[in-house]
Amino acid sequence: MKSVAFLTLGCKVNSYETNGMERLFHDSGYELRDFAQKADVYVINTCTVTNMADRKSRQMLHKAKKMNPEAVIVAVGCYVQAAKEEVEKDESIDLIIGNNQKNKIVKMVEDYLSNQTEVTCIEEMKDFNEFEEIAIEDAGDKTRAYIKIQDGCNQFCSYCIIPFVRGRIRSRNEEDIINEVTKLVEKGYKEVVLTGIHLSSYGVDMQGESDFVKRKGEPLAKLIQKVNDIKGIKRIRLGSLEPRIISEDFVKVLASIDKLCPHFHLSLQSGCDETLTRMNRKYSSSEYLEKCDILRKHFMLPAITTDIIVGFPSETDEEFEQTKDFITKVGFSDVHIFKYSMRKGTKAAQMEEQIPDPVKTARSNQLIATGKQLKEEYEQQFIGSEQWVLFEEKVTLLDDEDGQEKEYWIGHNERYIKIACVVKNKDENKHNCLEKVLLTKKREDGIILSTCIFTD
């Protein structure tokens, strides 16, 4: 029996697609192995969102070749889509597969094994108009399953390479989504995350349109309602949303969906209007704040998280300070900070006044500290409250008070706050169990301790 090992870099969409490719190999009789093990075939699902992602992709491809020089090394995904010529020169790689070709991977590997001829299968993403179906049947030992419902992006933010490597928006058939979620729930998964490259655009291409704002989130809202009706599902989360999809009507529908988690990731990127304009983000900071206010109007203490890019070309000290002040004004529950990374082929790469790395690092450190404080303030509000936690894993941690090792079950509540409960019975398995707990105090590492009240 031939064996195959996978490594995934980058976003949750990549993780989903890796799960789909694993199923294809499994169904074809391959033994699935961990990436650290020796295998006949190594598949690295690459990322190109930053220069570091490119470098990591190359490193992992070379690592696979070193682990087994006789293995077939397969490079798939966004990095190879963006850097075809560079990848073709890399002698560590045997098979190169771009995006929207992953559902053909087994046949390509089998053809290579038969012919021993290096193969490159990369096509221009702008030529693809249909969603690539690569369904999953399980998500391993995880408690939440990511469901890819959409691919591609039409926004063309000036810093972003993704529309060029993922193509234009393409939505998945609703029936296929419902069938996949239903099967996963029947296997015991209680939580699903609906994700995509530009999730807010889901369904608009099926209506013969490309502007998600005109559709006011209707296709996505209707899909969430149908997922909510699936028997046995306990939680629904959403991937990153475009701020402009948030409206009174859209949020009213979301608030009526009882299994939807009040956890919203609204990508901001900058709190300065001048910077947002250079980024080709199509909203102002004041409009963004209005969207947050709408969410807080219809949900109690919603977790609102975001992404910020620091050191965008021409970002002045004053513009950075505006972003820093705006983050505090919004009061995010968590903030993900990224230093601007020049991507060849984007408009931002041609802009003058590129910011030096030391300045980016200094600004990043400031915002990381600000985000940490905001997260602390948000989570502190829940100490003493009762929360439902979906437990995911058992870990050993040092007790803050006596320094002794203790075992804890760790999970998250609906707002994605990490919560721990001391293991009292070593034979008890809380994995994938939904329990109501009382939050007692916060550990020094940020995890909130709790005591169990009730099991669902």
DSSP output for 425-447:
-TT---TT-EEEEEEEEE-TTSP
Identify the pLDDT of residue 137. Answer: 82
In-domain check, residue 135: no
Answer yes or no: are the C-beta atoms of 448 and 419 closer than 8 Å.
yes
Identify the pLDDT of residue 6. Answer: 97
In-domain check, residue 449: yes
- Segment 356-393, tens digit of pLDDT: 999 999 999 999 999 999 999 999 999 999 999 999 99
> What's the whole-model pTM score?
0.93
The amino acid occupying position 190 is: K
User: Are 61 and 189 contained in the same domain?
Assistant: no
211 burial level (CB within 10 Å; 0-12, 13-18, 19+): exposed
Residue 297 region, left (φ>0) first, then alpha (ψ -120 to 50), else beta?
alpha
Specify the 3-state DSSP secondary structure of 1.
coil
Q: Which residues of the chain fall below pLDDT 70?
A: 117-119, 124, 126-128, 209-210, 456
Query: What are the residues whose beta carbons fall under 8 Å from the beta carbon of 256, sequence distance 6 or more?
Result: none
User: Are 210 and 179 contained in the same domain?
Assistant: yes
User: Are 334 and 205 contained in the same domain?
Assistant: yes
Q: Is the four-CA dihedral 17, 18, 19, 22 of positive or negative sign?
A: positive
Identify the pLDDT of residue 118. Answer: 65
Identify the pLDDT of residue 365. Answer: 98
Residue 356 CA, chain-centre distance (Å), reads 28
Residue 4 region, left (φ>0) first, then alpha (ψ -120 to 50), else beta?
beta
User: Are 23 and 166 contained in the same domain?
Assistant: no
User: How many C-beta atoms lie closer than 10 Å to residue 93's C-beta?
Assistant: 22
Q: What angle do CA 84, 87, 91 make, to 5 degrees?
A: 150
Tell me the β-bridge partners of 77.
Answer: 46
User: Are 154 and 295 contained in the same domain?
Assistant: yes
Round to whole Å and give the CA distance between 46 and 204.
28
In-domain check, residue 161: yes
CATH number for position 190: 3.80.30.20
User: How many C-beta atoms lie closer than 10 Å to residue 274's C-beta?
Assistant: 14
Identify the pLDDT of residue 250. Answer: 96
**What are 366's two structure tokens?**
């400031």
In-domain check, residue 128: no
User: Are 177 and 55 contained in the same domain?
Assistant: no
Total number of domains in the chain: 3
Round to whole Å and give the CA distance between 299 and 289.
15
User: Are 359 and 413 contained in the same domain?
Assistant: no
- Segment 224-264, tens digit of pLDDT: 999 999 999 999 999 999 999 999 999 999 999 999 999 99
Boundaries of domain holding 440? 386-455
Q: 329, 355, 380 — which closes off a domain?
A: 380
User: Are 392 and 434 contained in the same domain?
Assistant: yes
Q: 328, 353, 380 — which closes off a domain?
A: 380
In-domain check, residue 441: yes
Answer yes or no: are the C-beta atoms of 149 and 169 closer than 8 Å.
no
Identify the pLDDT of residue 210. Answer: 64
**What are 302's two structure tokens?**
């919603």
Identify the pLDDT of residue 121. Answer: 76
Nearest to 134 by CA among 113, 145, 115, 148: 148
User: Are 365 and 402 contained in the same domain?
Assistant: no
184 burial level (CB within 10 Å; 0-12, 13-18, 19+): buried
User: Are 339 and 418 contained in the same domain?
Assistant: no
Q: 354, 380, 406 — which closes off a domain?
A: 380
User: What is the radius of gyration, based on Cα positions, of the chain?
Assistant: 23
In-domain check, residue 334: yes
Residue 269 region, left (φ>0) first, then alpha (ψ -120 to 50), else beta?
left
User: Are 182 and 81 contained in the same domain?
Assistant: no
User: Are 354 and 415 contained in the same domain?
Assistant: no
Strands of 9-143, DSSP E: 31-33, 41-46, 72-77, 95-97, 119-121
CATH number for position 448: 2.40.50
Round to whole Å and give the CA distance between 334 and 190.
24
In-domain check, residue 138: no
Round to whole Å and give the CA distance between 308 and 441.
30
In-domain check, residue 215: yes
Alpha helices (runs of H) in 258-395, residue ranges in sequence order: 273-279, 285-298, 317-330, 357-380
